[in-house]
Amino acid sequence: MSYPATRKVVMLDANGRIWTAQQEMPTPRDGQLVVEVAASMVSPGTELGGVRRRREQASEGAAPGRPFGYTNAGVVIGTAGDCGDFAIGDRVGGMGGGYALHATHACIPHNLCAKVPDGVPFEHAASNHLAATALHAVRRGRFVIGESIAVAGLGLVGQLACQIAQVAGCDVVGLDRFPLRVDVARRSGVSAAVNVAEDDPAPLVAECTRGYGLDGAIIAFGGEATDAFKQLRGMLKTTPDGHRMGRIVIVGGASIQHPFAAGAGNIDVISAARTGPGYHDDAYEHGADYPRVFVPWPTRRNLELTLRFMQEGRLDVGSLITDVVHIDDAADACDKLIETPGDALGVVFTMGA
């Protein structure tokens, strides 16, 4: 098969410098799809969360860069080895660190891809990794129809978790400190959204739950989250003996210092890692499968479900996109997310001429 000799790819170095480079096209491994990328989406937290600190501590001189990015969408232009039911010409969403890069072309293991349904734009499908992460977090929380939950941190994963929890039949209160993110959550249909930098969410939660309290919550941001954990715990339902009860899911890499047992009550604290079973299992990524009776929701099936939700209008990615720029302008778009995070949310790179 014939592929382009080079590709454009967005680079990041240890000093926090970002630029777009021309790079030799890699050779796909068996089980990988060669994708001509149409769009990729930036994860402000995972990809850019520590860049400002690196810039502040930057040393003089050049530092080697590395390609980055982990969620994109495009068209299959080649396959290597057995790639299951994928074929040249398929529209796919692809994911995975080191694979689904911010690049014009990518080699992606086929079990980290899912076919994009008709009617779903590439710019929306490019959120697939983030959407599957949010889906897995909601599923880990065992949130069901009629329950009330809060989502603290309305970045991309938090916004998507809000929407998916509502698909599951939950009432959702979104919490964040950036007005833009609170407004986006309101526009995308959450039951309520609160700017916690300005207002105490407890009275609104009490009203929304009719005095019952939250059944659970999701913490969808990284870094220090002790205060958020305490705030969420205080809004959970309370048993007659005074203990708090509910489930709090951590999906954003948060750090929390809090006493447990009597100090926390009878709450479940649940870690939700990545997109579900299979991601970072090289054999699975490139074609092996798990017994479906024991692992009903591996990564690829989660990707497929989120893309179907987009097609059915139950997952509104378009409301989260604030900036669409060409890959050549990636550095400026990333700078906006890093330096003024309250001014942008979903940033998409396009690859066309």
Domain borders along the chain are: 6-129+276-350, 142-271
Alpha carbons 274 and 181: distance in angstroms, whole number: 22
- State the Rg of the chain over Cα: 21
Q: What pLDDT is stored for residue 193 in this prediction?
A: 97
The percent of the chain in helix, strand and coil, each rounded to the nearest 5, is 30, 30, 40
Q: For the chain, what is the largest distance between any 2 Cα atoms, rounded to a whole number of angstroms?
A: 69
Q: Which of 107, 33, 18, 34 is nearest to 66 (CA)?
A: 18
Do the Cβ atoms of 84 and 77 come closer than 8 Å? no
- The DSSP element (H or E) to which 134 belongs, if any, is helix 128-140
Other C-beta atoms closer than 10 Å to the C-beta of 232 total 26
Alpha carbons 289 and 108: distance in angstroms, whole number: 16
pLDDT < 50 positions in the chain: none
Q: Which of 352, 349, 327, 323 is nearest to 72 (CA)?
A: 349
Architecture per CATH, domain 142-271, reads as 3-Layer(aba) Sandwich (3.40)
Alpha carbons 83 and 92: distance in angstroms, whole number: 13
Alpha carbons 148 and 128: distance in angstroms, whole number: 25
What is the pTM assigned to this prediction?
0.96
Architecture per CATH, domain 6-129+276-350, reads as Alpha-Beta Complex (3.90)
Q: Which of 107, 105, 97, 43 is nearest to 68 (CA)?
A: 97
pLDDT tens-digit profile of 73-115? 999 999 999 999 999 999 999 999 999 999 999 999 999 999 9
Place of tokens 């906006």: 336
- The DSSP element (H or E) to which 93 belongs, if any, is strand 91-95
Place of tokens 């959550």: 185
Alpha carbons 333 and 339: distance in angstroms, whole number: 10
Which residue type occupies 95? M
Is residue 343 helix, strand or coil? helix
Tokens in use for 263?
């100090």
pLDDT tens-digit profile of 113-142? 999 999 999 999 999 999 999 999 999 999
Q: Which of 264, 252, 255, 257 is nearest to 175 (CA)?
A: 252
Q: Report the relative pairing of strands 216-219 and 244-250 from DSSP bridges.
A: parallel
Q: What pLDDT is stored for residue 1 in this prediction?
A: 62
Do the Cβ atoms of 254 and 223 come closer than 8 Å? yes
Q: Which of 113, 11, 39 is nearest to 317 (CA)?
A: 39
Where does residue 23 rank: exposed (0-12), middle (13-18), buried (19+ CB within 10 A)? middle
